[in-house]
Structure 1
Amino acid sequence: MTESRTLPPEALNDWSAALAERFGLAEGDIPISLILDLARDVANGVARPAAPLSAFVAGLVAGRAGGSPADTEAAVAAVVQMAREWENR
């Protein structure tokens, strides 16, 4: 049986830095708080399992749009808006 692990909030910076190093990303390429907010909004507005899926889709959309920080913010905003509308269905 696999032991369940949780990541303390301060460790996200270390994990983010390791991801950035492994994949050749710049320090500012991983907007931790933006993605955590997206996950929170989707988990609360749609369902918890929808949060990682939505984060993936937002990243995919942002990448296809060009991958700039503005592209990321726009993709996240669109997903969050969908989650808010979903909640009111």
Structure 2
Amino acid sequence: MNDDVYTFLTEVLADMNYDTAAVTPETELGPNGLDMESLAIAEVSIQVEDRYGVKFEEDEAEQLALMNLGQLVEEIVKRAAAVAK
């Protein structure tokens, strides 16, 4: 599932006009990487919820911005597994 989530996230980022050519699992979402702002993180969260049924609360946006792409993938997979139970 990790590969599916990673592919989905890179597609979402590309659709949001982020340059994903050099994106790796170690790419940070915040200022030292993609430099995503809170509205962009909220949009990704909405897309993830629609696709995987995983919900991130508004107050988690700051925490998400500190993650790298691989960590976000792991968090989505973990939460999706919990939802599936």
Alignment TM-score > 0.5, same fold: no
TM bucket, shorter chain: 0.3 to 0.5
The TM-score, its normalising length taken from structure 1, stands at 0.36
Question: Where is the helix percentage greater, Structure 1 or Structure 2?
Answer: 1
The TM-score, its normalising length taken from structure 2, stands at 0.37
User: Relative contact order: is structure 1 or structure 2 higher (C-alpha 8 Å, sep ≥ 6)?
Assistant: 2
Q: Which has the greater radius of gyration?
A: 1
